[in-house]
Amino acid sequence: MEDQSRVETLLEEIRDTQRESLAEYKRVTTQSLELQQKAVNRQEQLGKTYRIALIASALLVIGIIVLIFYVLQFLPTRYR
């Protein structure tokens, strides 16, 4: 009878340990998914910022080129 009781106790301990392990696994998995989602959101936001900076830089370069051609109109022809 004592062996039977000991076996039941061990099985209950194993079951409880497995439940705790499963709960920890679920917690870690959930946390990992949340962190991945935050990383994806941040990456999307940085992509938008990069696009805006690229467009602004392109407009600045175009503006400088237009300004150079505008100023070149005022130079005498011998300097061109």
Query: Tokens 């991945």, residue?
Result: 36
**What's the Cα-to-Cα distance from 58 to each of 20, 44, 52, 62, rounded to whole Å?**
57, 21, 10, 6
Average pLDDT for 15-26: 97
Cα 25 off chain centre by: 23
**% the chain with pLDDT above 70:** 95
pLDDT of residue 76: 74
Position 51 confidence tier, pLDDT thresholds 50, 70, 90: very high
| 59-77: pLDDT as tens digits | 999 999 999 999 988 887 6
**What's the Cα-to-Cα distance from 3 to each of 6, 8, 10, 12, 16, rounded to whole Å?**
5, 9, 10, 14, 20
In single-letter form, the type of residue at position 25 comes to Y
Domain ranges of the chain: 2-79
| pLDDT over 80 (residue 11) | yes
Greater confidence (70 vs 79) lies with 70
